[in-house]
Amino acid sequence: MRSVDGVVGPSVAVRPSVPVPHILSAMTHVGNRVMVRSAALQERAEKYLAGGVDSPVRAFRAVGGHPPFVVSANGATLVDADGNKYVDMFGSWGPMLFGHAFPPAVAAICDAAARSASFGASTPAEADLADLVQRCFPSMQKMRFVSSGTEACMSAIRLARGFTGRPFVIKFEGCYHGHSDGLLVKAGSGVATFGIPGSAGVPDETAMHTLALPYNDLGAVEAAFEAHPELVACVIVEPVVGNAGTIAPAAGYLAGLRALTKKHGALLIFDEVMTGFRLSAGGAQELYGMHVGDAAPDLTTLGKIVGGGLPVGVFGGRAEVMDKLAPLGPVYQAGTLSGNPLAMAAGIATLGHLLVHRKEIYAGLEETAAAIADGVAKIAAEHGIALTTNRVGSMFTWFFTPTAVTDFASASASDTAAFARFHRGMLERGVWLPPSQYEAAFVSAAHGEREVELVLQAARGALKDTVR
């Protein structure tokens, strides 16, 4: 513990030059939780960081209140700078499948770090991790590691264009594939949270080659292909949407996309940055029987879950497509931190554990997620609150709307003000939900009966607050 200007709490960097009265004037409470240090840290961050954050949704603009500053986490628990504890229901936006500070991953990272954090050269660990990825995703005949899910999706699309010689990309409204220029058209995640249709700084000449269509509507996809004959390079889709809240594919939808892309000579890209390893060891494509043979996507993108939560991504697929990448082909992609040894080590430890224990892991995740998602839905019904619960495996969303949510338009009908009140009520009671109606919640293998009861207990009070 360290005393900073008379404020005592976990050891975190707060400049001692900030006057005590100034810090105390920023003091805030979340319910009975004092957040003196988090408020001071936010005030300091705003001096140096745009909006005081390094990713927009962390600012809590969609839900109101002051965001806690996290200083540590273990298992299913987050701890803020004031020592408050929270049940973590967003898991670093999905990748913490085994909870925070997973001991095998921590040990592997420390061991790798002792040999250097980066080489900028090939290492044996890259192929070791690739082998584990391919065991889970057999459709990824060849792959390449990058540093993020954004980079994986951006690179996959460049590769699809290079392979087909075509310019257009079909994506779906509310699906987020990272913040590269051409993919911010009607995107989900923070773009949806802030009500931004695209992004300033993206030239029309770039956006014009992205066709954003309604999710779960095969007719719209067929019409787009017919309107742009032999011009569509690929269709990229979140097979289960997570960045507009959780939205499952309609029966036959994914198979229909596979059939249409084959018919029109375009590639099909499954963005499994969020669903990969979470819904099953082989992600959504295994869950929906599309992981092998002609049903499989041409390319797949994966994100930080591959590295146990460290900054890493991977894209891969059919060998003939991947062989178009330099140094074998004309499509250029590179990165000094690609195949970073720390991320590779954490990934090997994480996926190795997953492959050994996959049966019990997914059974446990299913049971816990159902208990939380259905339990809160039942409490909402008892309070007469209109709530639609969408869940696929261990990812789910409570939409504050009485109607079914099947695409971004129906998700947008949700009462976001009610969600904001619910979010604040849950946070006051020690449960940290994703701070947006348009983001999925997640459970980990570290969530158990205790966390289920804490969430349900918090919801009983928070839902009362929601209807006031």
Integer CA distances (angstroms), 452 to 11, 280, 406, 444, in order? 30, 21, 27, 12
304 an active-site residue? yes
Residue 291, pLDDT above cutoff 90: yes
pTM above 0.95, yes or no: no
Rg (CA), the chain: 22
Q: What mean pLDDT do residues 233-254 have?
A: 97
Name the active-site residue from 80, 82, 88, 271.
271
DSSP label at residue 332: -
330-368: b (≥16 Cβ within 10 Å) or e: ebebebebbbbbbbbbbbbbbbbbbeeeeeebbebbeeb
User: In this model, does residue 63 exceed pLDDT 50?
Assistant: yes
Among the listed residues 186, 304, 362, 415, the single catalytic one is 304
pLDDT at 15: 38
pLDDT reading at 182 higher than 80: no
Query: Over 90: is that where the pLDDT of 185 sits?
Result: no
pLDDT score of 200: 72
Whole-angstrom distance, CA of residue 345 vs CA of residue 112: 7
In this predicted model, which residue has the larger pLDDT, 350 or 178? Answer: 350
List the catalytic residue out of 176, 215, 288, 438: 176
**Known catalytic residue: 271?**
yes
**For the ranges 198-207, 227-236, 324-333, which has the lowest average pLDDT?**
198-207
- Which residue in this structure is represented by tokens 């009861």? 453
β partners of residue 145:
314
Residue 1 pLDDT > 70, yes or no?
A: no
Residue 457 has pLDDT above 90, yes or no: yes
- 464 is an active site residue: no
Average pLDDT in the chain? 90
Is the link from the previous residue into 19 a cis peptide, with omega within 30 of 0? no
When pLDDT is averaged across residues 347-375 and rounded to a whole number, the result is: 98
The pLDDT tens digits for 77-121 are: 999 999 999 999 999 999 999 999 999 999 999 999 999 999 999
Q: What is the pLDDT of residue 56?
A: 87
- Phi and psi at 195, nearest 5°, equal 65, 30
Taken in order 385, 453, 74, 106, the sign of the CA dihedral is negative
Cβ count within 10 A of residue 294:
8
- What pLDDT sits at residue 184? 65
Pairing relation of β-strands 33-34 and 29-30? antiparallel
Out of 126-130, 206-210, 230-234, pick the least confident.
206-210
Residue 157 pLDDT > 60: yes
Calpha distance 208→189 (Å, rounded): 21
pLDDT at site 208: 82
